[in-house]
Every structure is written in C-alpha cells, then in structure tokens.
Chains A and B, each alone.
Chain A
Amino acid sequence: MNLTLRVWRQSGRDDAGRMVTYQVEDVSPDMSFLEMLDVLNERLIVEGDDPIAFDHDCREGICGMCGMVINGVAHGEQRATTTCQLHMRHFEDGATITIEPWRAAPFPVVKDLVVDRSAFDRIIQAGGFVSVPAGSAPDAHSVPVRKEDADAAFDAATCIGCGACVAACPNGSASLFTAAKITHLGLLPQGQPERLSRAKAMVDQMDAEGFGGCTNTGECTAVCPKGIPLDAIAQMNSDYLKANTK
C-alpha cells in the first residue's frame, strides 16, 4: 500500500507546531500502525531529518504508553484498540491519514506526538489506592468477595491510563479515567473504608488539574480501548455526592 501521512510536528513545548506531509510506500497490510511509523522514521534518520517522536513501549495494548489521534479519532477508528494494536489492513491503499497528539490543556505537548500525562499520576496520588502497608495483610481468604463484584471490579481496573478518553472529550474531562479507579476499588470490600474520601479527593484533584466537567457526551467510552462503560461515571458522581453531604 502507498499512503500519505499528515503528521503533527512540534519541536518542543514552546513551538507552535504544524502539520507536515510524508509519503510512505510499500506498506504491508500486516504491519502495525507503529511499525509503519518505524519504517518512515528509519528513512528520516538516514536522510538526516528528525524522526517523528511518539510514545510507545509494550506494543501489545496494555502499558497505555501509546496514543495518537488518527483521522480525528483517539487511537483510530477501530473500536477497543490502542494505537499500537492497530494494523494497516484496516486502511485503504492510497489513503491520506492525519496523525495528531492528544489535545487537552492538562496534557501539554512535549514533542510531536508525545504529551505529558503526569496529571493522571497525581489523580491516583490523591486517593487511588487502599492504604495497606506490606506485611500487614490478613489471609487472602479471610474476606470472600462475590464473584460478580470481583468481575465488575476487574472490568473497571483494566483501564490502562492512556488518556484517550480525555483526548476524545469535547470538555477535556478525565471523568472516565478517574471513575474507573473509583469504581474498581469501591466495588471491593477492601476498598470500603476509604471509599468516600477517595472519591472526593480524586475528583477534587481532577478539577484542580484543569480537566473539564462531564456532560455525558459518551465520546470517552467510544474510544476507550478497554471499553470502560459510562456507568462508572455515575458511580463516581454518586460516591462524590455522598462524600460531600456526609
């Protein structure tokens, strides 16, 4: 396949940035999207040009490091798929593909397609944990957990912290990410003691980082590679409300 790529290039935080067009030839349909970019970058290096910077690590959809807005959609149009899992067989020969970084004020661009998502770590710092020092835990079987609860907690816990939900949201809200953690821990008996204080601290931190509010557009869950459902946000709001009226 031959493709035209329009890629966002920005040398650093203070650069205004611009779209730059590249032609790539002989792309195999079995290549992953990132392998296609690797091939382009190899060429750019040999030609002495600055290759396109992008974040990636595991390349199997679990570390949450990769992320690009592809043809206007976070992680591309393929549902429930991270950028690194996207394969070229889903594109037409001769197509033009636009590639941009996550765009949201709390995620400043570091270079090209690389953004700073440290705000997510700070939301977790605010309360996304169960306080349990190493060595103090009771036997794992001392508290049975209903299978339904364990499964639902797992589903919420699969969030990879990629930030696509923020990039897709017209308000730049981090509600889906934050709610996923609140739901995961809030569904388990181990998470109960800190449940309300956790919800309050995390939501307040999310606001302090400058993420927008949720208006239920559902764009987040549509792009979420792990299919975190919108219900999680309702759960978060309910816990948050309870925390504030307590």
Chain B
Amino acid sequence: MKYSEGPEIRDTKAPSGPVEERWEKRKFSAKLVNPANKRKLNVIVVGTGLAGGSAAATLGELGYNVKSFCYQDSPRRAHSIAAQGGINAAKNYRGDGDSIYRLFYDTVKGGDFRSRESNVYRLAQVSVNIIDQAVAQGVPFAREYGGLLDTRSFGGAQVSRTFYARGQTGQQLLLGAYQALERQVAAGTVTMHTRHEMLDLIVADGRARGVIVRDMVTGEIERHLADAVVLATGGYGNVFFLSTNAKGCNTTAIWRAHERGAYFANPCYTQIHPTCIPVSGEYQSKLTLMSESLRNDGRVWVPLRMNDTRAPGDIPDEERDYYLERIYPAFGNLVPRDIASRAAKNVCDEGRGVGPGGLGVYLDFRDAIARLGRPAVEKKYGNLFEMYERITGENPYDVPMRIYPAVHYTMGGLWVDYDLQSTIPGLFVIGEANFSDHGANRLGASALMQGLADGYFVLPTTIGDYLAAGPFGDVDDEAVAEAEIRVRTKIDRLLAVNGTRTPDSFHRELGKLMWDYCGMERTEESLRKALERIPELRKEFWENVKVTGTNEELNQVLEKAGRVADFFDLAELMCLDALVRTESCGGHFRAESQDADGEALRDDEHFAHVSAWEYTASGEPVLHKEPLEYEYVKMTQRSYK
C-alpha cells in the first residue's frame, strides 16, 4: 500500500506555560456562549457510553439542544457497561504518595512516551472531579468500614488510586451517566434516538453539520443537522473479530468521518489484555476478560517443562515457572498489560502453554486462598470466579484459572487537538474513539477516567469556544443529499451481491489474519503479507457476501455487513501504520526492534511523533507527523525489571 508524507502538525492548540496551568488557561480563554443562545445551538452526540452519555447529559444541562444516538435499544447498554476493574483518580486518599503529578507521570511513562504531556496532565487534574461527580450521583463505590471510599492498586501502579464498585465499575459509572442523560431527556434538552446507526457524516462549507443515520427497526434513512457533531462511538478492537468488546462495537462512525476528512491517528496502537478466558472452539463469538485486579492476588505460571500434561495440582512448586515474578522481580505479576501479554505468548510459543491447543497460562489463587482464607478471596473476586466457572465449567477455587491475552482496547483513533476537535471543524471526538491520552499503551482503569473526563469536563468547555460563533445557519442541501446518496448506494450494493458467504465468515477470516499478522507481535514480513491479503479478501467480500432480506426492516445481516466492509479499510490502514512505525513502543511490538532481553525498543530519534493519516480519494493516504516533546517527564526506556 502506497502512501505519501504531508506537512507536520505543529500546533495542537494546547496553551503554553507551566503544565499545571495550561487547562486553567484554556478554560479562561475559551469563549462563553450566551445562555439565551444555547437553546438555539444544536449538538449531535453519537454514542452513549461513558464519554457520549456524560457529554450529552452535561451539554443538555448547560442548555444546548442535544440529539443523542446509539445502536442499542437503550443508552444504558453501551459497551462501557462491561468495564470491570475500576477507575483511576489522583485523590491521594490513602496518603501513599499519589498526586496529580504522579498520575501524570505514570500515564506518560505507561504510554511509552507517545502521548502529549499537556493532555495527560489535564486528564490527571480532572480525574479528581470525576470521583466527586460520580459519588454525588449515587454511584455505589466500594467503601471501608469508616464510610470512606476504598481503593486498590491496579496493573502497573505502585499507589492505590483505583476506585471500584465490586467487579462492575463500568456498569455503575455508566448508569450514573445514563441516569443524568435520562434526566435531561425528561427535561427536554436531549432527544434520544436508540436503535439508530450513524452511517455518514455531513460536512458542508468545511464544517461538520450533521449525520445520516439508519433507523434500525424500519430501515428509514434519516438526516439530522446540527451546529456541531460529537463522536463518542468507542473503540475498534472488533477488527480482530475476537476481542473483549461487545459484539456491536464497530468502526463505522469514525471511519466515515475519516473518509470525510478527519485524520486517523496511530491506528496500529492496540492493547492486548493479558487476562482473558482462552478460546474454546471455532464457534467462539467473543472473548471474556477476567479483570486484571485478579493479578493482585493471583500468581501467573506455566510448567517448567514443555508439553507437560499433568494436572496443575500435580505439578510441584519447583517444577513451575512463575515467569513474571522471575523476569520482573520488582513488579512481578503486576507488570503492565503489554509486557504480561507478550510474556504469555512467549512461554506458549516455547511449548509450555496449558489447556486446549497450548494457548493458555495459569492464574493461580492457591497461595492467596492459603494466605487470606477462602472467604476473603471470595469477597474480593467472587463474581469473577463465578463468571469464569460459568464459561469454562471449571472451579477456580480448586483448579487454577487458565488465561490468555486478547484484544481489548484501541489507543489509536481519530486525531484531535487539545480541544478534542478533529481536523474537521465542528467535529469533536471523545472517549475511546479518539487517540488522545494513552500514547502507545493505556494503563488499567484509565479508559473510564478518560471517557468521563472528556464527557463531563473537557468537551463541554471546549465545544463552547467553537459554538460561540454559531448558530452556523442553513446547511447546504447538496452536501446533505450527497451524504444520503452515499449511504443508500452502499446499502443497495451490499444487498445486490447475493453471494454465498455470510458477513460473519468474512469478519472471522479478517480477524484471524489481523491477529496472526498485526497482533501481539508484528514483523515487516507479516505486515506485508496482511497488506497483500486484505485487499484480496475485501474484493471477495464485495463479490461474494450474502445479505438476506431488505433494507426496510430490522436486518441484522445488513447491519453486520456494513460494519465488516468498514473493518476491511481500517485493517489496511492499521497494517500500514504498523509497517511504517519500525520501532516497538507500548502495545505495538515490532519483532525487529527489541533489546537483548527481548524487551520493546523504542526509536525516539525517528518515531517520537503521532502518526496522523489523511484519507484521500485515490486510496493513497497521506501521513502527517505531530512531533512529541517532553518537557517534564524525561524520556527513558521503560523498565519494569
């Protein structure tokens, strides 16, 4: 796949000066919207997860006229609901040395020096307000006997800054945002459109002015116009088919925006989560995450010997390899996700994996049960153990869990500036859908934090600065009609193929290809192979996919086919991005770039930049580099040894 290089991105609109004052400065410089004007300003928010739900509720509360969209039957079902482990905040309630600066530092370092200092600092600052907001809404966080909030330490952090609600933190935070949203629906400031899928973005006179959506029950193609559009449509991990994401998670909204002119940043940065339940068969439809909090008490091991088929309980301690504790004595089982994932892959590649196909490692609670007693373990992890047993039929109190890495999160996404605005004026992107804060690797419990920081606090301020110049008047009819025709043409095309293979069968094949060639470990050879194979498969898709039924009905085959079609194009850009970035960093591991110990080796001289890709009609993307500078956190090679 060919590409060319365009001008660098020099200005991200972040204020200058001391990092701790930048957000204050920006808030103060942002123009305010006259309260009387707010009702005349229309904002579309696509997505009702933590980011979109909190944004729509807050914008409604501020008095804007908001339309909110989601593909599920209720905004409460957005994928954020599934987050288990917790949410970070620099409250330092424990007095264990945490601070805004430390959370900032950990996030920049954890992101392997591929995120922006200004953005990350702001995230750490705002984190504190999120917990206050959530508690005031009635989010039932875990508490201690004194009535104060409990916290725990989470993958990669040496302080206890993760707030949680048993194993259902995402659910409780999302319900808080959902309830705030429904309150605005009742107040008439937000109009909710459930079972509506955004299929195109309307750009007129250089501004994002609306969306084309399909009513998933009737098939009606609708146009919705506004003064600004916010995308909060989540991550694209489902490009791998098997991931921990919900089945409906997709790239359609952001890919369409990309085609309309929004740059796509760092598409190759994917996070593989180390603790998921291994695949059990061909029919497997998704992978289930076991919260990483399990690594606080569970110990990861494999047999020392290759192809050891003994039951785990029959393998004595001296014949076990607690490889994380061995290789990383300082952090042990709590090393960051990418390191834990790759280490699991390595021991399985050595033939020491356990379970079907040798694609698994043990996560053992034997010692924790002996140390803390079964009731204590049950209290902490009961629901997770239950979930595991439900799926595998095995009881983790008696037999160690089997886990294997799975695709979990995408750090890449649409490029946004400090205001969370994309390269299309009036198009804002928040939550997992943007690329902004996690660099090449996200720390555990930081996605919930970012989604809510964007939605409750950052976007509502920065979008005001843009909207202060509005309302922007009538939208050019032709631009709207064009977008609508594009949508109809694509649907007609999908329905017309009438081939012999289901959309899922293509998706499965694409996913396998991505996992094998652009997964945990990438090489020039594997990526070139993928770039050769993806266009062939896409061609076959457009010649041989079978979509039953019509557009004018609830048609889940048609929905799926549309999403798979977009995954092909995204997959190609991911592989190209991974090919061009010849260094290893965070979740992106290029086998050619590792040190003597097999650790990821960054190349700061050539790659200390964000790769922002511009779409062109010719199909040949243009790469714009945004240089990254570190004034506060000194660039060092990450070491968890």
Contacts and interface: CB of A to CB of B under 8 A. Distances in A.
Contacts of A157: 140, 165, 172, 175
B504 interface: yes
A207 interface: no
A117 B73 contact: yes
Contact of B133 (A31, A44, A137): A137
A160 B393 CA distance: 24
A161 B72 CA distance: 13
A137 B175 contact: no
A129 B137 contact: yes
Contact of A28 (B145, B165, B283): B283
A179 B75 CA distance: 20
Interface in B471-522: 500-502, 504-505
Interface stretch (B404-412, B547-555, B563-571): B547-555
B133 A125 contact: no
**Cβ-closest 8 pairs across A and B:** A144-B147, A137-B136, A129-B179, A154-B140, A137-B132, A125-B186, A140-B135, A150-B143
Given A60-B288, A129-B182, A139-B132, A38 B140 contact: no
B144 A147 contact: yes
Contact of A140 (B54, B73, B149, B504): B149
B281 A30 contact: yes
Interface stretch (A108-116, A164-172, A211-219, A230-238): A108-116
B247 A57 contact: yes
Contacts of B286: 59-60
A63 B168 contact: no
A134 B500 contact: no
Contacts of A154: 140, 142, 165-166, 172
B139 to A, nearest CB: 8
B129 interface: yes
Interface residues of B, number: 79
Contacts of B329: none
A18 interface: no
B406 to A, nearest CB: 13
B192 interface: yes
B72 A114 contact: no
Contact of B183 (A28, A58, A125, A191): A125
B182 A146 contact: no
A120 interface: yes
Contact of B77 (A28, A50, A57, A131): A57
Given A59-B286, A128-B179, A118 B548 contact: no
B120 to A, nearest CB: 21
Interface string A3-46: 00000000110000000000000001011101100110010111
Nearest to B76: A161
Nearest to B500: A46
B391 interface: yes
A57 B247 CA distance: 5
Nearest to B248: A57
Contacts of A81: 390
Contacts of B72: 57, 63, 65
Interface stretch (A69-77, A93-101, A182-190): A182-190
A56 B248 CA distance: 8
A134 B280 contact: no
Interface of B: 54, 57-58, 61, 72-77, 79, 81-82, 91, 93, 129, 131-138, 140-149, 165-166, 168, 171-172, 175, 178-180, 182-183, 185-186, 192, 194, 217, 246-248, 280-281, 283-286, 288, 387, 390-391, 393, 456-457, 460, 500-502, 504-505, 546, 548-549, 553-554, 556-557
A185 to B, nearest CB: 5
Nearest to B77: A63
Interface centre among A134, A139, A144, A190 (most CB of B within 10 A): A134
B137 A130 contact: yes
Contacts of A45: 502, 546, 548, 557
A64 interface: yes
B91 A140 contact: yes
Nearest to B277: A60
A38 B283 contact: yes
Given A63-B72, A150-B140, A87 B283 contact: no
Nearest to B499: A46
B609 to A, nearest CB: 34
A5 B58 CA distance: 47
Given A55-B73, A116-B73, A140-B135, A147 B554 contact: no
A145 B141 CA distance: 10
Contacts of A110: 217, 554
Contacts of B147: 144-147
Contacts of B283: 28, 31, 35, 38-39
B81 A58 contact: yes
Contacts of A106: none
Nearest to B84: A62
Given A60-B82, A63-B81, A137-B132, A50 B179 contact: no
Given A81-B390, A153-B140, 9 more contacts: A34-B285, A57-B247, A58-B82, A59-B285, A117-B74, A129-B179, A129-B183, A138-B136, A154-B165
